[in-house]
Amino acid sequence: MQNYNQPSSLTSLVFLVVAANAGGEGKTTIAKLIQALWRLFGSPVHLFDSDAGNWSASATDPEAIPVGWGVQTIKVPEILAATKGKNAIMDLGGNALASAREIANLVPALQKAYSDAGYRTIALLPYSTNKPGATSSIKDVKDELIGFEKCYVKVNRDGSAHYYGNLPADDTVSIGHLKPGFQTLIMDEYKSFDALISEPKDNHGLARAYIGQWMHDFAKQPFIKSIIGGEIAILRGINAPRRNLRFNVARLEQTTDDALWENVKKSNFLDEIDAAGWSAEGLRSVASKIDRGIL
């Protein structure tokens, strides 16, 4: 893989495929995250959804165009015309590659057409935590995507950071765990990551900070930064009050500022107890700090 730690002079548009061979690998989340990063960077982007298994990209983005699968098929010239002067993302399910001949034929044709048009053609290949067959499965997908630059994406789906198998470190980026309540907030309230970052509603300032920090952690990796075209200033300036929330954010009502400040406070208490020790003496020390208003 090219050394993307060096300053990039890449100015070409990108045709990006996000492909996985199974559900639950974070494929659509990655596609929509890259879409949001390009929007925040000021680059035009179009999203295509070829995953007929769930249609999640199409369902949450009214501008996403379904491709393939019988009567909904559109052809290479139509896709190129729709994305002229724009970056393009294809949310590609493994079931589409395996069972939809239109898609299996369309992908290599698109790779050649975009490459001939001067685009970088890139495939991101996600695999997630605690799935014993994930690495071998995603290698199978990799072998089908001929002509693309390829990069694996480690998806910390459940927060455990435990992955089966090994993939080349030089060809891998990672995406952190995003708590379920934050995912619900995006899906139900904002429909896109960039909408929350650009125009957060009242009482969602802390949610913006945590989601923005999660986005920046992904975006600042050299390979991802080379895809986007540079650093995203609005994300660089976002900081959450603490790095790790030790209590869950599982429901929508737990994403408000009030609920998240309570989570921060209780997380700080646990940090103090860990430092002082889970003994009577340690607990008394922490209780004394609380009584004195230090915590």
Confidence (pTM): 0.87
pLDDT of residue 1: 47
CATH number of 14-177: 3.40.50.300
Q: Rounded to 5 degrees, what are φ and ψ at 160?
A: -85, -25
Token digits of residue 191 = 């429909």
pLDDT of residue 5: 42
Task: Tell me how far apart the alpha carbons of residues 64 and 48 are, in angstroms, rounded to a whole number.
Answer: 5
Q: What is the CB neighbour count within 10 angstroms for residue 247?
A: 16
The β-bridge partners of 23 are none
Residue ranges of E strands in 58-187: 65-66, 87-93, 120-128, 149-155, 172-175
pLDDT of residue 55: 41
**Alpha-carbon dihedral angle through residues 213, 214, 220, 225, given to the nearest 10 degrees:** -120
Query: Could you list the pLDDT tens digit for every one of the 295 residues in the chain?
Result: 444 443 333 458 999 999 887 677 788 899 999 999 999 999 999 998 765 444 444 444 556 555 554 434 567 888 888 889 999 999 887 666 655 556 667 888 899 999 999 999 999 999 888 888 777 778 878 888 899 999 999 999 999 999 888 777 778 999 999 999 999 999 999 999 999 999 999 999 999 999 999 999 999 999 999 999 999 999 998 989 888 999 999 999 999 999 999 999 999 999 999 999 999 999 999 999 889 988 7
Q: What is the DSSP string of 180-206?
A: HHHHHHIIIIISSHHHHHHSPPTT-HH
